Amino acid sequence: MTEKISFVLDASVKGVKDIVSTTTATERLTAALAEQRGEVQSLNGQLKGIKGFEAAELRAEKLSAQLTETKSTMTSLSAAIAESKQKTTQLRGEYNLTQNEIRGLNQEMQQASKEGAQALQVKLKEAQL
């Protein structure tokens, strides 16, 4: 009977050891899962940071393209302004020449009308005589 009791005790002790071993293993797994959960959360945070950085890089590329296009537009507009200034200067010179010519013609008309008036007055006097 002692053997039976010893066997039952051995089986009970072994069962308790198995339960303790299983409990310990479960606790280790729970701790490992908690640690991995923290690592996954950290990795998710890093992933969000990387995605934000990639979005910023894409935005920077778009802005760089816009800057290049704007520089090109500014260069062409600058050339157009220079051409416009040149034409304006040329037209201003032509305008001044035209104004001088008009003044000269006005003076000639005034002299001609004085001379014409004098000639008409001479003819009038001759006609009256």
Long-range contacts of 74-77 (CB under 8 A, 24+ apart): none
Helix boundaries (H) for the chain:
2-128
Please tell me the distance from the alpha carbon of residue 115 to that of residue 108, in angstroms, as a whole number: 10
| Most confidently modeled range among 29-33, 68-72, 97-101 | 68-72
pTM over the 0.95 mark = no
User: CB-side exposure of 25: number of CA atoms within 13 Å?
Assistant: 6
In tens, the pLDDT along 76-96 reads 999 999 999 999 999 999 999
Positive/negative CA dihedral, 70, 72, 78, 84: negative
Please tell me the distance from the alpha carbon of residue 2 to that of residue 68, in angstroms, as a whole number: 96
